[in-house]
Amino acid sequence: SSELTQDPAVSVALGQTVRITCQGDILRIYYASWYQQKPGQAPVLVIYGKNYRPSGIPDRLSGSNSGNTASLTIAGAQAEDEAVYYCNSRDSSGNHYVFGTGTKVTVL
């Protein structure tokens, strides 16, 4: 199966740590990457591969992978981290991307 499942929503207090997970059998084959999307904006790549951040992404965002689960951790959450986060991976054909259902992160 190429489906990726995420929790719909999570909240975190300002300065605290939150972990978002992404589950799918395809993650046993391909690494997940993570995208942040704020209202009215295009997605932005925040984590890819084992745990790499593009230039400009703060190091309070980190990723990890284990079995069929990928995780994105925000350590010391800031107000600007409030967004929807999507995971994605290649699908079983290896040609397309499949996206997770998205997790809305609210910073309290």
Q: Provide the binding-site residues for other proteins, judged by CB under 8 A.
A: 30-31, 33, 35, 42-45, 48-50, 52, 54, 86, 88-91, 93, 95-102
How many angstroms separate the Cα of 12 from the Cα of each of 15, 16, 37, 43, 79? 8, 6, 17, 21, 10
Least spacing, CB of residue 14 vs other proteins, in Å: 27
Q: Are 67 and 28 in contact (CB under 8 A)?
A: yes
| Positive/negative CA dihedral, 27, 55, 12, 17 | positive
Least Å distance between CB 17 and other proteins? Answer: 24
Question: Between residues 39 and 79, which has the closer beta carbon with respect to other proteins?
Answer: 39
- In the bound state with other proteins, the residue whose beta carbon lies nearer, of 50 and 67, is 50
Q: CA–CA separation, 102 vs 104, rounded Å?
A: 7
Q: Is the CB of 12 or the CB of 98 nearer to other proteins?
A: 98
